[in-house]
A and B are shown apart, each in its own frame.
Chain A
């Protein structure tokens, strides 16, 4: 089975953001970047499927040259090779991102495309399903489990609301958008890191893959959320704050 695992690069989890003077985007200059966590769950699931079924995991990333560092990390985790669809100086919306994914899935003749359920930056929660629509393939989102059945179909577990789950069967080729928490994301081993250096990263132009198509959404402005109602901060050392809090819970809130 040939699996295309999509990995987006986003600012690191604990980033402190600054906004450009014109409000058009965040200031990238002082940020560090890492893989979007939901996509890492996707990659992990791709690797597990390969370990059980055999086949190949091809990593796909869209972005500027700096993305290659993250790609190496994904290769070190166990992906076999990678495609970097380069795009400099602009960001693609969900529709164009899906266009690139669909194009590479066809080039690579993938049987399965895996994405995270959403990205940790804009988080439009749709890229995988949109790529499936473009490809004419079935898809499942919010995936909490995948199993290959005899006969080559997939048994897929989908998370529903309020603690309910659904098991379904879909044929390949297909797209899965993996829910965070499906499993534990592995760390790259030293051996993996060494091996990753020699693995192939094929570079293609994202612009060529989306030629003739256009974006459907555009980010107008980035803002800090308005300061809403704020908690009353209880000051002091940890001991002082704890004592003052207990006092407030007794006398003000009357809940102790």
Chain B
């Protein structure tokens, strides 16, 4: 039988995550194109419920991997478990989401089984029987195509939203429990606690208007022009990661993959170049306005309207206009 396509399905609280469905849909597509069986792998705590959800989709089987030592998550236990699954089966490809949890352990597995691993893919195709993966590079300014020198399995993680889950085919396959051998001495990372970074944090997801600020603001002392604009607009202030990392604004203002996901009616991206980590957190906003000096900034590819110019001139002009519009002093 042909080597399989394995899709590692990410889940949380017993539910399949959107990125999990995206990976599964890509698995279905490749399975159809290459005539290879598709197997979904669901690992860890809460995996049973997620596995049953996955098992209703068109695939060969769902492999359920659960073990007392997989809770809490550690890179040690998960990499040992996944490695055992892959060594026993020698699949053709291993597809998964580019999630923080996968970042923490899957590269060890690829290394251990002699594979190449391309992360954060935005496109994927077959060429002469080998996989070729496209990913963003050089701070999202360029794309690169990467091929595999090592033989299968080809490991690839997918950027959230890059592969649509539309057209996910229904069907059904059996949930098969896969036994893995894990021992406590394997686990060198002792998890002490898991907690929310900021308590009582600002919930940006409920705002109708958001003014988000990026590295282009230059320094913390320049923030008042953004805050004044947000005030007259009745907007919340958000920020991209660099602004948070520089400690110009608190972490609960961060929008993007490691911050909040928002979709307000109107989103102003001011001095934000638009790295993918930011875009995933705001691209579903109603109207997006980008203000940036660099006409080539990726933010303009998701924006509805753009102004190419100096934010220190454009934003105060907008503030004055909105004041007049609303009759605010």
Contacts and interface: CB of A to CB of B under 8 A. Distances in A.
26 contacts: A13-B139, A17-B141, A19-B142, A26-B142, A95-B116, A122-B137, A122-B146, A124-B118, A126-B110, A129-B111, A133-B107, A138-B75, A155-B192, A164-B195, A165-B195, A165-B196, A167-B191, A180-B241, A216-B150, A219-B145, A224-B142, A228-B301, A231-B302, A241-B307, A241-B309, A255-B266
B142 A239 contact: no
| Chain B residues touching A, majority SS | mixed
A163 B45 CA distance: 20
B103 A98 contact: no
A232 interface: yes
A245 B309 contact: no
Nearest to B148: A217
Given A220-B132, A231-B303, A234-B305, A120 B241 contact: no
Contact of A245 (B120, B144, B300, B318): B318
Closest 7 CB pairs of A and B: A181-B245, A126-B107, A231-B306, A216-B116, A231-B303, A238-B313, A242-B317
A222 interface: yes
B244 interface: yes
B325 A256 contact: yes
Given A126-B119, A161-B100, A233 B318 contact: no
B189 A232 contact: no
A21 interface: no
Interface string B107-148: 110111011111110000000000010011111111111111
| Chain A residues touching B, majority SS | mixed
Contact of A241 (B190, B192, B314): B314
Interface string B183-219: 0000011111111111001000000000000000000
B111 A231 contact: no
Nearest to A131: B111
Given A124-B118, A224-B142, A241-B307, 12 more contacts: A140-B189, A161-B257, A168-B190, A170-B189, A181-B242, A216-B150, A217-B147, A219-B144, A220-B145, A232-B305, A233-B300, A233-B307
A219 B118 CA distance: 11
Contacts of B120: 123, 125
Nearest to B294: A14
Q: Output the residue of B286, B304, B307 with the most chain A CB within 10 A.
A: B307
B138 A26 contact: yes
Contact of A230 (B141, B146, B190, B301): B301
B258 interface: yes
A108 B114 CA distance: 26
B119 A125 contact: yes
Contacts of A218: 146-149
Contact of A231 (B110, B135, B137, B304): B304
Interface in A101-117: 117
Interface string A161-191: 1011111111100000000110010000000
B99 interface: yes
B111 A181 contact: no
B111 A222 contact: no
Contacts of A204: none
B326 to A, nearest CB: 9
Contacts of A155: 192
B6 interface: no
A163 B242 CA distance: 16
Contacts of A242: 307, 314, 317-318, 321
Contacts of A98: 111
A223 B117 contact: no
Given A140-B189, A163-B198, A216-B115, A231 B148 contact: no
Given A232-B305, A241-B307, A214 B149 contact: yes
A219 B314 contact: no
A225 B136 contact: yes
A215 interface: yes
A141 B103 CA distance: 7
Contact of B108 (A19, A129, A246): A129
B42 interface: no
A64 interface: no
Nearest to B307: A241
A84 B325 CA distance: 61
Given A159-B258, A232-B305, A120 B139 contact: yes
